[in-house]
């Protein structure tokens, strides 16, 4: 059979013919499939080529679109049957139809929802001016605090929205109570506008901030001649610090905060560095010095003939012990203040805090070089007590003008021997009684206790010796038993236990020594007083 013969038989499966399966009983889709399969069975034995079969099936699909009804779909879902190509194409077609049917209403729903929101906006309280001006002003104020734009710009934008918003903004004083200005060279600030702006804030407090921006000009052009107090918290190179200090010739108080930063070895000051002359400097404080850092070398190039107070504070964290060479450099740095031209001649107060050394013997040469000291304070002193083992240094008495001695926050379990302080004072007092007036007025020693349960000593051998030397209780505001035995101050401080010295006793020679007059013990929030009786 030829192709023409096959084509002649195709009307049998076209819609509307007497033999059309669509006219048979039952769903037309199944009759179409049966017709195609039956007709193919008759044609295939004579066609003998796959190409002919393919063209024939495509022609059938073009003439009549195969569709699947619910019963056939349910039949396929209930059984695990293989689908032929026609069924697969029909299923894909049904999926596309369902998708189109869904997308249409969905787009219509979105359109309706958008229109609904637009109608709701027309009824919002802000559009109908239903929000009271006071509440609206608070909304404005809150919006300013969460925006990164400058407050002035935000307020101007609020005033441009509508007339009611402008009136509300003008009637909210807090919106006009702050002004931030930027000043730059060649630009004149409009203070008349600032005055007008602040006038709208009423009587509430006002804030004016002016930030100045300039180029990176050299520090030597800074106008610092009228500066009397200066705090530098930085890790700048020594050369930059020196340049600023040379421009601050009228400084009286200088604080250098080094932030515990260790400098590189290349930052060591050169030996030929020009000195920094500060003729009016009275107090110098060096804070947060890292262990081993050469920061104190600045003292070698500082000329401050009027210096009266020197405070050197290490740490307090991550302090490595100083080597012998570093300790020697440290003492030389301090001694350099009294050497050379324009030396320090009247240093009276010296404070050294948390110096990381194991032996304090090297500090003796510092005390020997500073005979004018009247106040010596050592804080967080974790060294031994070799500093106080002998009151003489190279046949000279140490600290001949000393009035106040404070050794604070000693570790109770450390290497410091407290009796060395007592022996130092007694030997020094004997010498001073013969050679010169003894100006000592106050001695204070504080101990950081390791155990909360440990009792404070009721008496020490030193108290009896002080009594034999003529120490007598001084009549004061505090009352105590007449048998009270005075003892040299040991302030014990720990969690839950704090002993305070609040009284002075007097030695006949005129020396004032702080002694333990009473102890306050605080436990669990209750305050108790303990008399100093035996």
**Where in the chain are the domains?**
3-95, 133-213, 251-265+277-530
452 closest CA partner among 393, 488, 413, 496: 496
CA angle 120, 121, 126 (to 5 degrees): 125
502 closest CA partner among 481, 491, 516, 490: 516
Would you say the C-alpha torsion 351, 357, 359, 365 has a positive or negative sign? negative
* pLDDT at residue 471, as a whole number: 34
CA distances from 285 to 42, 110, 410 (A): 113, 72, 22
338: burial class by Cβ within 10 Å (0-12, 13-18, 19+)?
Answer: middle
Q: State which H helix or E strand residue 421 sits in.
A: helix 418-435
Give the Cα separation of 37 and 369 in Å (integer). Answer: 121
Helix axes 133-145, 151-159, angle to 10 degrees: 150
pLDDT tens track, the chain, 534 positions? 444 444 444 444 433 444 444 444 444 444 444 444 444 445 445 444 556 556 655 555 544 444 456 666 777 777 777 888 888 888 888 889 889 989 989 999 999 999 998 888 888 776 667 788 888 888 888 888 777 778 888 899 989 988 888 999 999 998 898 888 887 766 777 888 888 999 998 888 888 888 776 665 565 566 678 899 999 987 778 888 888 898 899 999 999 998 888 776 656 676 778 899 999 999 999 999 988 788 898 999 999 999 999 999 998 876 788 888 989 999 999 999 999 899 999 999 999 999 989 888 989 999 999 999 999 999 998 889 999 989 998 888 999 999 999 999 888 778 888 888 888 988 888 888 788 888 888 888 888 875 554 444 444 455 455 445 443 322 222 222 233 233 333 333 222 222 333 333 333 233 333 333 323 323 233 333 333 333
Q: What letter would DSSP give residue 454?
A: P
* Three-state secondary structure readout of 45-78: HHHCCHHHHHHHHHHHHHHCCCCCCHHHHHHHHH
233 DSSP β-pair partners: 257
* pLDDT at residue 368, as a whole number: 94
How do strand 178-184 and strand 207-213 relate by DSSP bridges?
A: parallel
* pLDDT at residue 256, as a whole number: 94
* pLDDT at residue 493, as a whole number: 29
Cis before 323 (ω within 30)? no
Q: State which H helix or E strand residue 529 sits in.
A: strand 526-530
Alpha-carbon dihedral of residues 128, 129, 135, 141, nearest 10 degrees? Answer: 100
């Amino acid at each position: 059979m030829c192709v023409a013969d096959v084509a002649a038989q195709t009307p049998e499966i076209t819609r509307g013919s007497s033999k059309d399966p669509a006219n048979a009983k039952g769903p037309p889709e199944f009759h179409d499939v049966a017709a195609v399969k039956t007709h193919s069975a008759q044609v295939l034995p004579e066609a003998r080529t796959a190409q002919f079969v393919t063209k024939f099936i495509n022609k059938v699909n073009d003439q009549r679109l195969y569709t699947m009804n619910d019963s056939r779909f349910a039949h396929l879902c209930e059984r695990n049957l293989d689908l032929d190509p026609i069924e697969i194409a029909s299923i894909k077609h049904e999926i596309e139809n369902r998708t189109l049917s869904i997308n249409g209403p969905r787009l219509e729903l979105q359109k309706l929802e958008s229109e609904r929101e637009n109608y709701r906006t027309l009824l919002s309280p802000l559009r109908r001016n239903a929000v009271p001006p006071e509440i609206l002003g608070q909304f404005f104020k809150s919006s300013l605090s969460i925006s990164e734009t400058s407050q002035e710009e935000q307020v101007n934008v609020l005033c441009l929205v509508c007339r009611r918003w402008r009136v509300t903004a003008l009637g909210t004083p807090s919106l006009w109570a702050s002004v931030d200005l930027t000043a730059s060279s060649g630009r004149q600030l409009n203070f008349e506008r600032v005055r007008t702006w602040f006038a709208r804030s009423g009587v509430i407090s006002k804030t004016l901030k002016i930030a100045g921006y300039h180029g990176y000009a050299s520090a030597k052009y800074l106008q610092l001649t009228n500066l009397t107090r200066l705090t530098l918290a930085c890790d700048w190179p020594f050369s930059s610090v020196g340049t600023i200090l040379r421009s601050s010739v009228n400084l009286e108080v200088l604080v250098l905060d080094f932030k515990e930063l260790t400098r590189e070895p290349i930052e060591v000051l050169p030996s030929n560095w020009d000195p920094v002359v500060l003729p009016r400097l009275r107090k110098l404080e060096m804070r947060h010095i890292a262990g081993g850092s050469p920061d104190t070398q600045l003292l070698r190039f500082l000329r401050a003939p009027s210096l009266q107070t020197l405070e050197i504070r290490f740490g307090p964290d991550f302090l490595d012990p100083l080597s012998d060479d570093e300790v020697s450099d440290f003492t030389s740095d301090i001694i350099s203040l009294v050497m050379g031209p324009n030396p320090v001649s009247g240093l009276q107060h010296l404070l050294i805090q948390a110096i990381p050394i194991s032996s304090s013997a090297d500090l003796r040469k510092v005390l020997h070089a500073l005979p004018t000291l009247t106040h010596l304070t050592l804080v967080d002193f974790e060294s031994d007590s070799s500093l106080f083992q002998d009151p003489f240094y190279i046949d000279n008495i140490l600290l001949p003008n000393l009035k106040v001695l404070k050794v604070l926050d000693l570790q109770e379990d450390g290497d410091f021997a407290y009796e060395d302080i007592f022996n130092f004072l007694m030997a020094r007092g004997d010498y001073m009684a013969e050679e010169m007036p003894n100006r000592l007025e106050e001695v204070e020693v504080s101990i950081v206790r390791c155990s909360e349960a440990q009792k404070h000593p009721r008496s020490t051998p030193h108290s009896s010796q002080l009594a034999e030397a003529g120490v007598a209780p001084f009549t004061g505001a505090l009352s105590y038993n007449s048998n009270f035995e005075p003892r040299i101050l040991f302030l014990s401080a720990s969690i839950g236990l704090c002993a305070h010295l609040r009284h002075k006793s007097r030695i006949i020679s005129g020396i004032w020594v702080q002694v333990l007059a009473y102890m306050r013990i605080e436990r669990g929030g209750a305050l108790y007083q303990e008399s100093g009786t035996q």
